[in-house]
């Protein structure tokens, strides 16, 4: 595999990728499915899945969201034309426009047992902003994880977006203060009901995590650093402007550390 981290000044997760999450998310889902394939025992397959939904998301503030616009005939064209023909001059009658938010694309990876009618064994979720922000999509996501668990299916949650986790099943308050970090991966093994957390620091490489499978299987290993490297290999990230702070901004200590990294990287 080609190692592409020379495209990034950071040893692990690059905070500048967070503002390009639509691109990153697509590539991560694909990379996880590909890298899991050789790690799965016979009879299991990792399949990327996609669902498109149109929602009004309460409290969301997503940049780069492209809305669809429908033009609705207000029935006033005839009146405006009649006024013009009569010689009247006035303010142009506007056309009423109905605003729709663009579609939200929900993607995940399902590990299925092909020898048991494609039973879903494990669901892997890579979080997007709408999973974390308060609103219907967040509530649906949390309910989905609980339903997955109730159905005897394991789940893995990979959160590479800084910010609050207060609306998720595992919050930062569930970890000791010294265990909290910038990012987090969580796994729930439905066979043993064991919940594991992998805090991820911006200053280190991403860890390898265990993906729970069937009760008779050892967990598969998913190397998140290898996933990130594949994302860099396949993604359009050469145009990142490192002269400006990332969004959201880093803490003062991390910002100073990052500035030093970027300066040294740019000199190479």
**Residues in a beta bridge with 222:** 209
Read out DSSP for 213-232? Answer: --TTSPPEEEEHHHHHHHHH
Q: Which residue has the higher pLDDT, 89 or 45?
A: 45
| pLDDT digit string, tens, across residues 144-203 | 999 999 999 999 999 999 989 999 999 999 999 999 999 999 999 999 999 999 999 999
Contacts of 172 (CB under 8 A, 6+ apart): 164, 165, 166, 180, 184
pLDDT for 89 equals: 57
- C-alpha triplet 54, 132, 60: angle, nearest 5°: 55
- Is the pLDDT at 79 greater than 70, yes or no? no
Q: How confident is the model at residue 101 (pLDDT cuts 50, 70, 90)?
A: low
**Mean of all residue pLDDT scores within the chain:** 84
pLDDT for 267 equals: 83
Q: How confident is the model at residue 60 (pLDDT cuts 50, 70, 90)?
A: very low
């Amino acid at each position: 595999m080609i190692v592409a981290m020379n495209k990034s000044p950071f040893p692990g997760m690059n905070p500048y990728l967070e503002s390009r999450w639509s691109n990153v998310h697509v590539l991560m889902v694909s990379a996880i499915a590909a890298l899991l394939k050789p790690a799965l025992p016979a009879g299991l397959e990792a399949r990327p899945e996609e669902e498109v939904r149109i929602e009004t998301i309460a409290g969301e503030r997503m940049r780069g969201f492209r809305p669809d616009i429908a033009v609705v005939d207000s029935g006033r064209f005839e009146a405006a034309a009649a006024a013009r023909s009569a010689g009247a001059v006035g303010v142009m009658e506007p056309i009423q426009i109905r605003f729709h938010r663009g579609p939200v694309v929900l993607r995940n990876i399902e590990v299925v047992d092909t020898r048991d009618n494609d039973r879903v064994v494990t669901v892997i979720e890579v979080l997007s902003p709408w999973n974390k922000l308060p609103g219907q999509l967040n509530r649906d996501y949390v309910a989905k994880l609980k339903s997955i668990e109730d159905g005897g299916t394991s789940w893995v949650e990979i959160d590479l977006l800084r910010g609050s986790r207060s609306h998720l099943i595992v919050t930062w308050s569930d970890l000791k203060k010294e265990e909290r970090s910038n990012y987090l991966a969580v796994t729930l093994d439905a066979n043993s009901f064991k919940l594991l957390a992998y805090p991820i620091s911006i200053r280190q490489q991403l860890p390898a995590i265990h993906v729970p499978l069937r009760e008779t299987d050892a967990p598969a290993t998913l190397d998140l650093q290898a996933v990130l490297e594949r994302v860099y290999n396949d993604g359009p990230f050469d145009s990142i402007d490192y002269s400006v702070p990332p969004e959201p901004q880093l803490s003062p200590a991390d910002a100073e550390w990052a500035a030093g990294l970027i300066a040294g990287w740019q000199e190479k």
